[in-house]
Chains A and B, each alone.
Chain A
Amino acid sequence: KAGVTQTPRYLIKTRGQQVTLSCSPISGHRSVSWYQQTPGQGLQFLFEYFSETQRNKGNFPGRFSGRQFSNSRSEMNVSTLELGDSALYLCASSLYRGENYGYTFGSGTRLTVV
């Protein structure tokens, strides 16, 4: 079965612009989480969505937002991009919320802000 699909794989944006990243979870998975990975801060939790509702949020500014659609696909948006937003953004899906049996990660979207 298909894994977690993230699009696009690579993205270059200019400071001040906004960007939208997409994540399609494994078919049947209802929970989608987003993580930011940078060399300096490592992997940090952004937010989690389940049944179209944000259930948990990490310590990121309000410029970072997301949503989940009825088919469980999720998007995250970053507005007013800063150089420090350059990172690999990873999406992970799991069958249920709070299911601690392992999350399946996508290959990520590498965002470069110039």
Chain B
Amino acid sequence: AQKVTQAQTEISVVEKEDVTLDCVYETRDTTYYLFWYKQPPSGELVFLIRRNSFDEQNEISGRYSWNFQKSTSSFNFTITASQVVDSAVYFCALSEGDSGGSNYKLTFGKGTLLTVNP
């Protein structure tokens, strides 16, 4: 069974600080997909990134970066120079396989509440 653990329930930082959100996953599949979503106070779920298990390259998008390490089953998310607008709950999610059927199920972590204070 697949599982996603976000051990940090809440993180509070001051604006302009860098912050890393941890995500550890468990899966038996060799092919899987990892995602990060953002849920701001308004409540919607916003897609941030999708990464497949064969692509371990780190990715940077503006102030956001992701570190995927299969050796430690981790897919961590770093926000550089955080801003108040980054305050949200961030979810890591996992989907197994690509053979159709249940591979489309997303298993979400419990989420990390990030508060960026001015």
Q: Do A and B bind each other?
A: no
Give me the interface of B with A, judged by CB distance under 8 Å.
none
Give me the interface of A with B, judged by CB distance under 8 Å.
none
